[in-house]
Amino acid sequence: MKAGCGVTYADAIRDVMIEDVHGVPVPIASLATLWRMKQTLREKDAPDRLFLRQTMEAEGIPLDPPPAPPVESLDGVPAG
């Protein structure tokens, strides 16, 4: 994959977090990068967006892009 939601490896590596896993430094995508990568219409990304939004808000990390308004179905009832 060259990019996920327009986020390339070059974009993601800029704010990578390094975590120590049993003495091995492992690069991990930042919360902000994960947030950008989860801006999809896929239903399976919705729980991830909720978790990331709550975590980022609690840590004072700005949401960029901001959360999208809820999507309504064709009959006007919120989807989900």
Residue 18's alpha-carbon distances to 15, 41, 52, 70, in angstroms, are 10, 29, 18, 34
- The whole-number pLDDT of residue 21 equals 96
Give me the residues paired with residue 17 across strands: 28
Query: Against a cut of 0.95, is the pTM above it?
Result: no
Burial zone of 38 (CB within 10 Å; 0-12 exposed, 13-18 middle, 19+ buried): buried
pLDDT single digits (tens) 15-58: 899 999 999 999 999 999 999 999 888 889 999 999 999 999 99
Query: CB atoms < 10 A from the CB of 14, how many?
Result: 10
Q: Where are the domains of the chain?
A: 3-58
